[in-house]
Amino acid sequence: MRKHEGIETVLEQVSRIAGLLWEKGWAERNAGNISVNVTGLVPKKPARGCPPIVDVEKPLPLLEGTMILISATGSRMRDIARDPAGFMCIVRVPKAGSRKPSRAGSDACARPSSELPAHLSVHQFLAARGKAEKAVIHTHPGRLIALSHMQGVNNKGTLDSILKRMHPEVGAVYPDGIGFAPYRTPGTVELAAASVKALESRRIALWEKHGVVAVGPGLDEAFDAIDTMEKAAGIYLDCMAAGYEPEGLTDGQIIALRAAFGQ
């Protein structure tokens, strides 16, 4: 997140990125969810137009005192795009001993996304490692999901290698590649744990047969990682649909790319 940002600026970014997720076709119905660590950006007395604040029930010692802006459960990306404050809420992780009554349940829009466990686990992991990333996106990009159904491709090593060979941009910008989380039921703590493991030092991980989770300093950078990987997946599938297995960048080309980008 950049300096001098307030919650209003973050909500503008949420609106723009939610619109893009919808336009890209990655957000059917209420698919996907967005969160941003907005600690320090929420005024003590939130003004009108600030999303509702909900206290999280579960103790999360590493996130104590943190505020996470997250899409509300059931919200459509196209609705978030036109009214971000109306379809987001702020999850507050109270400091130990300072628990305030939760507003969850009193306001239909104040129930956070069904993927809250994954978002909180990823924010916890980012905070614990002192990372600059504050934004998390989960969405359903069709081509990456299609690859995750392809036997022989749906494993970390093969998927990562295919995407790097399809498009020089992948290896140049994302040398740590894409992580791979084996299928877990949506919304579960098992999916949350698999997400953290798959992300490690990466910007993006594929949730097998479901979607992706990506992180970035801001929502734009998280979006870029998804967009780039989805482009590479599309090139692979377009070649296969045209009836040929793509040659891909050769070993020599990959080595030269790494050297050129100081990796």
The structure tokens listed for 112 are: 């956070």
Which candidate in 57, 115, 200, 245 is catalytic? 115
Is residue 84 a contact point for ligand 2HA (CB under 6 A)? no
Residue 115 bears catalytic tag: yes
Task: Report the alpha-carbon angle 193-195-198, nearest 5.
Answer: 110
Work out what residue 49 binds among ligand 2HA, Zn ion, none; the CB cut-off runs from 5 to 8 Å by kind. none
For ligand 2HA, the binding residue among 1, 11, 21, 32 (CB under 6 A) is 32
Binding mask of the shown chain, residues 112 to 131, with x at each position contacting ligand 2HA by CB under 6 A = -xxx----------------
Shortest Cβ 186–Zn ion spacing (Å): 6
Distance CA 118, CA 138 (A): 9
Q: Residue 37 forms beta bridges with which residues?
A: 68
Binding flag, residue 66, ligand 2HA (CB under 6 A): no
Q: Identify which of residues 29 and 48 has a Cβ nearer to ligand 2HA in the complex.
A: 29
CA torsion angle for 159, 134, 263, 211 (degrees, to 10)? 10
Q: Whole-angstrom Cα distance, residue 84 to residue 92?
A: 18
- Rounded least distance, CB 47 to Zn ion, Å: 32
Pseudo-torsion of CA 61, 66, 71, 73, nearest 10°? 40
211 binds Zn ion, rule: CB under 5 A? yes
Binding test (CB under 6 A) with ligand 2HA, winner from 33, 35, 66, 121:
33
Residue nearest to Zn ion (CB): 211
Residue 69 CA to residue 37 CA, distance in Å, equals 6
Which x/- pattern, by CB under 6 A, does the window 173-212 give for ligand 2HA?
A: -------------x--------------------------
Which residue has tokens 């377009």?
A: 238
Cβ count within 10 A of residue 60: 18
Catalytic residues: 115
**Which chain residues interact with ligand 2HA by CB under 6 A?**
30-33, 113-115, 186
